[in-house]
Amino acid sequence: MTFSGIGARGLSRRMLLGIGAAAFAAAMLPARAADRASTIRIGVLQFGTVAWTLDTLKHQGFDKAGGFDIEVVPMAAPNAAQIALQGGAVDMITTDWLWVNRNRADGRKVQFVANSTALGGLYVKADSGIKQLADLKGREIGVAGTPVDKSWLFLQAYAKKTASLDLRKDAKPSFAAPPALNEFILRDKLPAVLNFWPYGARLKAAGLTELLDMKDVLKGLGLARPAPMVGWVFNESWSLANPDLLKRFLIAVDKTNAVLRDSDPAWVRLKPLMKADSEADFIALRDAHRDGIQPDELVVDLPAIQRLYALLAAEGGEELVGKSATLDPATFHSTSGRAP
């Protein structure tokens, strides 16, 4: 065989190697394209609890069994993950359905699949003198997040309903980052804090009292079962283009949650990733996470969620819900945390 009239022996070794490499690369292109097509890029907070799920999923081999790969893209903050999803840098993040609904009203078609019902609660020191919600009158309360954080809005509505208390006026709320609130209450600088569940678990491990679990608050507001607030979020265009890939991923998540609910050794393996300061912290974090992934609770009761949305919209106004006065049912890709 000759090339441009030159015998094969006349070709340099470098040229032959180059031709071989090019042919190999050409042969590999379909495989590489297939690899990319079966990879899900997930934006994950560097110290977030979603990392526990994905680490376990990969360790158990549920990704390989499902014929897909996960590329974990570390994120420094929730808004960074949201921007990454909007910009196409990742395929999926975890956030709440309020953000999803607001974006849909703005023309960005994202969707939600339930991942956890864990919310956190209201924590007080034993010597604070706060034994019931009404005792917050005139007292300081630290609140994680902003004045339109959903847990704060839920608590306000619950206080009005059950204790005739307007916490914005009758208490003294201050807003701060979750780790700072834990530090403040442990140093006796605050008598009560409303904090997210990973930080609440640490407070319970430190001996503080959980005066109110947010699941009980939602029940008091008329929900028959806990509401999944946080979930897997992705662009609708991505889910339409990858329906089978999404289904296989959700099946793998379901299997992972079963492992995390039932296997203590699976949690021992996760210890280094959890950054627990003590054995009590570790157990509290494990049990709180398990409580949030009960399969019968990862179901969206749409009429109940719509009532909940109306309550949030009334409490938080446009700053919370944006242009959307109602909840778009298409916010939810599936009414279950399991694969549709």
- Looking up residue 113, the CATH number of its domain turns out to be 3.40.190.10
53 occurs within a structural domain: yes
Distance CA 274, CA 269 (A): 10
45 occurs within a structural domain: yes
In this structure, the answer to whether residues 43 and 179 fall within a common structural domain is no
Distance CA 148, CA 320 (A): 6
Question: Distance of alpha carbon 56 from its chain centroid, rounded?
Answer: 16
Give the DSSP H/E element, type plus range, for residue 243: helix 243-262
Give the DSSP H/E element, type plus range, for residue 231: strand 230-235
6 occurs within a structural domain: no
Closest CA to 289 of 326, 312, 262, 314: 262
List the Cα angle 205/209/215 in 5-degree steps. Answer: 95
In this structure, the answer to whether residues 214 and 238 fall within a common structural domain is no
Distances (CA, A) of 77 to 46, 83, 87, 118, 233: 8, 10, 16, 19, 16
Q: Domains in the chain: how many in total?
A: 2
From 188, 204, 220, give the residue that closes a domain: 220
Closest CA to 44 of 77, 20, 18: 77
Distance CA 326, CA 227 (A): 17
Is the CB of residue 260 less than 8 Å from the CB of residue 53?
yes
Distance CA 199, CA 276 (A): 11
From 166, 188, 220, give the residue that closes a domain: 220
Q: What is the pLDDT of residue 340?
A: 62
pLDDT along the chain (340 residues), means of 10: 37 39 39 64 91 97 98 92 95 95 94 95 94 96 94 95 95 96 96 97 96 94 90 97 96 97 97 94 97 93 91 88 88 78
Q: What is the pLDDT of residue 36?
A: 64
Distance CA 215, CA 253 (A): 23
Distance CA 219, CA 226 (A): 7
Q: Which residues lie below 8 Å from residue 226, measured CB to CB, with a gap of 6+?
A: 117, 215, 218, 219, 297
In this structure, the answer to whether residues 139 and 208 fall within a common structural domain is yes
Look up the domain containing 250 and give its range: 36-117+228-331
Q: What is the pLDDT of residue 14?
A: 41
Q: What is the pLDDT of residue 318?
A: 87
List the Cα angle 273/278/279 in 5-degree steps. Answer: 90
